[in-house]
């Protein structure tokens, strides 16, 4: 590693720490319904929305109604996206004359974009028309992120309120997060990206006559507007097949740095918003610190693995599946951030990473996408772990578990366990199924333990709603399209519904004033306990699976054994 590499990483961390209170404070004002500087600019849009849908923004509902609204809205998004894909050829804005998409691939993609996963079994430039990319995929990029924010807002209200069953208005939360947070940031970011060379047009694909004398078709399209929200909303679905490794999707090292930065931007800032809204900024910073420690640990292991020499390729700098303008350090940084944050965009091919660096990606996703995590989703996933931590800590010292004045009862712990088990169940059962079936194995690009890692990665990515891949696996088959689709649904709604139930149950409770006997959740001891619970509950579950994949591959590689 060079000084510049280290500098970029430190700058990244410093900027995330610096921007967290700024954006976090702004979001607090937005979501609390207070005055903020974007109100005069975009306030009319919010009012227009309420007028159009005929909803009173201040009328709140209980958690069940909130959940039904959320599910209904997501279902409509799914149906619309599914339909425009299977009828793509009859729709406008299709200069490359792309054909209708198979029903199972359309199902997979519609689920994938609705659940903020953005797993892609298809190659964008040869599959999706501008119409589908723009009116289908870009919209889901926004609203799936907004859905994540809505859920964490409901959780925050559940914690900070007392003796009520109201946890907010889903439509208001959806509107405010899209209009005041996601949209302005996307506008700003996409213009910067075009300035770096990203394409943004509706032209037909251009044909270049190369110096060698052959034709090269250059895909075009409204890429920048989609890429901006793809990164900001931790979506990750590429406009082009190579995702953020494609020169049109990530033209320069600076565009790359910004893309990495904005993945963490909103999830990190939400910890501050959380602190503000539950009445203790310190609580927010504690969560932030736990996330930052886990991020730095993963990054260090990954950097070490990618810079180590090994028995297969010797001490060559490891450039398979990496771009020259990014080099090793920026590829590793991107991979750790994108898997921490359930983004899933990639600027290098994770399949070609060394086994341990690939394993860091898998573990980041297995822990439940809570290291900053998806927009909103990371933080509500973290709240699940916090509930488990106070419960376990309560058992150890023999006190009633309590978090921010709320007594944690059997119901909350049950729901937290369901949320936790839903994803582990989906990952392990489906991986096992694929690994012993001929249709599961036929998609493999690599033999030996790395082939198993490809399958494990796919289902982990789907369950964590990440969307990145060991892309050698050919997943555009009936089996993978359907099974991964189901896993994405479990990973999304199998967590959202229990979490909303927790929010509803907490809102009904009274707030007990803190006393000397209260177990503190805003100090280093708690941060340590939280990390411990995350690693044990989240991590140990998967140790056997990991040892069959990346761990054994690492050991074999160091003995020069290849397949």
Of residues 113-172, those binding other proteins (CB under 8 A): 123-126, 134-136, 138-139, 141-143, 171
Can residue 309 be called a binding residue for other proteins (CB under 8 A)? no
Q: How many C-beta neighbours within 10 Å does residue 23 have? A: 18
Q: Is 471 a residue that touches other proteins (CB under 8 A)?
A: yes
Shortest distance, position 440 Cβ to other proteins, whole Å? 17
Could you tell me where the DSSP H helices lie in 115-222? Answer: 124-127, 130-131, 139-160, 170-176, 183-195
Please write down the long-range contacts of 53-56, taking CB distance under 8 Å and 24 or more positions apart. 53/171, 55/169, 55/171, 55/172
Please identify, using beta-carbon distances, which residue of 277 and 469 lies nearer to other proteins.
Answer: 469
In angstroms, give the least distance from the CB of 20 to other proteins.
Answer: 22
- Length of the chain, in residues: 563
Of the candidate residues 14, 17, 99, 195, the single one contacting other proteins (CB under 8 A) = 195
Residue 290 C-beta: closest distance to other proteins, Å: 29
Q: C-beta of 65: minimal distance to other proteins in Å?
A: 8
Q: H or E stretch including 209?
A: strand 206-209
Of 1, 14, 100, 320, which lies in the binding site for other proteins, with binding defined by CB under 8 A? 320
Transcribe 305-364 into DSSP letters: HHHS-BTTTBTS---TT--TTTHHHHHHHHHHHHHHTT----SS-GGGS-HHHHHHHHHH
Which runs of consecutive H residues, i.e. helices, occur in 196-280? 223-232, 253-278
The nearest distance, CB 314 to other proteins, in angstroms, is 10
For residue 45, state whether it binds other proteins (rule: CB under 8 A).
yes
Residues 485-544 that bind other proteins (CB under 8 A): none
CA–CA separation, 365 vs 260, rounded Å? 17
Residues with Cβ within 8 Å of residue 396, at least 6 apart in sequence: none
- For other proteins, the closer CB: 77 or 498: 77
Per CB under 8 A, does 225 bind other proteins? yes
Q: Of the candidates 43, 57, 409, 448, which one interacts with other proteins according to CB under 8 A?
A: 448
Residue 297 CA to residue 326 CA, distance in Å, equals 22
401 binds other proteins (CB under 8 A): no
**Contact call for residues 86 and 481 (beta carbons, < 8 A):** no
Residue from 43, 247, 409, 539 that binds other proteins (CB under 8 A)? 247
Quick one: tokens of 445?
């690009």
CA distance 294 to 292: 5
Is 452 a binding residue for other proteins by CB under 8 A? The answer is no
* 230 lies in the site for other proteins, by CB under 8 A: no
Q: Does 78 bind other proteins (CB under 8 A)?
A: no
If the CB atoms of residues 239 and 526 are measured against other proteins, the closer one turns out to be 239
The nearest distance, CB 98 to other proteins, in angstroms, is: 11
CB of 221 to other proteins, least distance (A): 10
The count of C-alpha atoms lying within 13 angstroms of the C-alpha of 312, restricted to the half-sphere facing its C-beta, is: 16
Stretch that binds other proteins, among 292-300, 324-332, 383-391, 509-517 (CB under 8 A): 324-332
Q: Which stretch of DSSP H or E encloses residue 299?
A: helix 281-307
Any contact of residue 251 with other proteins (CB under 8 A)?
yes
**By C-beta, is 236 or 401 nearer to other proteins?**
236
Residue 229 binding other proteins, by CB under 8 A: yes
Residue 280 Cβ, how far from other proteins at the closest point, in Å?
Answer: 33
Run of H or E residues at 13: helix 3-32
Closer of 35 and 54 to other proteins (Cβ): 54
Q: Which is nearer to other proteins, 258 or 529 (CB)?
A: 258
Strand 215-218 and strand 206-209: the pairing is: antiparallel
Q: Should residue 248 be labelled a site residue for other proteins when binding is judged by CB under 8 A?
A: yes
Radius of gyration of the chain, Cα coordinates, nearest whole angstrom: 23
How many C-beta neighbours within 10 Å does residue 476 have?
Answer: 19
């Amino acid at each position: 590693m060079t000084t510049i590499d280290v500098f970029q990483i430190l700058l990244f961390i410093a900027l995330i720490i610096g921007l967290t209170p700024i954006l976090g404070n702004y979001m607090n004002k937005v979501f609390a319904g207070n005055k903020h500087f974007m109100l005069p600019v975009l306030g009319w849009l919010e009012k227009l929305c309420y007028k159009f849908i005929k909803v009173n923004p201040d009328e709140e509902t209980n958690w069940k109604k909130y959940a039904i609204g959320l599910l209904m809205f997501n279902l409509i998004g799914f149906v619309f996206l599914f339909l425009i894909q299977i009828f793509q050829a009859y729709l406008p804005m299709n200069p490359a004359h792309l054909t209708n998409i198979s029903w199972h691939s359309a199902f997979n993609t519609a689920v994938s974009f609705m659940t903020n996963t953005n797993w892609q079994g298809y190659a964008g430039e040869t599959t999706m028309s501008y119409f589908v990319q723009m009116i289908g995929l870009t919209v889901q990029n926004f609203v799936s992120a907004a859905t994540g924010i809505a859920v964490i807002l409901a959780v925050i209200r559940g914690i900070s309120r007392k003796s009520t069953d109201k946890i907010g208005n889903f439509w208001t939360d959806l509107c405010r997060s899209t209009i005041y947070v996601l949209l302005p940031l996307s506008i700003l970011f996409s213009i910067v990206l075009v300035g770096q060379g990203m394409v943004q047009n509706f032209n037909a694909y251009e044909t270049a006559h190369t110096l060698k004398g052959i034709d090269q078709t250059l895909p075009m399209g409204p890429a920048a507007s989609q890429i901006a929200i793809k990164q900001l909303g931790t979506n990750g679905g590429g406009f082009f097949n190579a995702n953020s490794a494609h020169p049109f999707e990530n033209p320069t090292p600076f565009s790359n740095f910004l893309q990495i930065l904005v993945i963490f931007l909103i999830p990190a800032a939400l910890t501050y918003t959380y602190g503000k809204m539950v009445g203790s900024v310190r609580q927010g910073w504690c969560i932030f610190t736990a996330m930052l420690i886990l991020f730095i640990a993963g990054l260090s292991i990954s950097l070490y693995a990618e810079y180590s020499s090994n028995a297969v390729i010797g001490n060559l700098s490891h450039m398979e599946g990496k771009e020259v303008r990014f080099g090793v350090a920026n590829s590793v940084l991107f991979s750790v951030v994108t898997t921490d944050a359930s983004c899933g965009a990639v600027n290098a091919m994770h399949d070609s990473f060394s086994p341990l660096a690939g394993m860091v990606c898998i573990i980041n996703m297995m822990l439940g996408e809570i290291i900053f995590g998806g927009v909103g989703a990371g933080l509500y996933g973290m709240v699940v772990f916090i509930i488990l931590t106070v419960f376990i800590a309560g058992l150890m010292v023999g006190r009633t578990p309590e978090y921010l004045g709320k007594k944690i009862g059997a119901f909350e712990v049950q729901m937290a366990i369901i949320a936790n088990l839903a994803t582990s169940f989906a990952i392990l059962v489906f991986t096992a199924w694929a690994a012993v079936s001929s249709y599961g194995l036929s998609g493999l690009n690599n033999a030996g333990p790395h082939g198993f890692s490809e399958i494990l990665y796919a289902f982990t990515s789907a369950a964590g709603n990440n969307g990145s891949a060991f892309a050698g696996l050919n997943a555009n088959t009936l089996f993978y399209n359907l099974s991964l689709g189901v896993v994405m649904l479990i990973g999304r709604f199998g967590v959202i519904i229990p979490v909303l139930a927790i929010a509803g149950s907490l809102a009904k409770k009274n707030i007990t004033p803190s006393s000397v006997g209260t177990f503190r959740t805003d100090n280093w001891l708690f941060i340590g306990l939280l990390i411990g619970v995350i690693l044990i509950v989240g991590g140990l579950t998967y140790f056997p699976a990991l040892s069959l994949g990346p761990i054994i591959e690492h050991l074999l590689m160091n003995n020069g054994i290849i397949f």
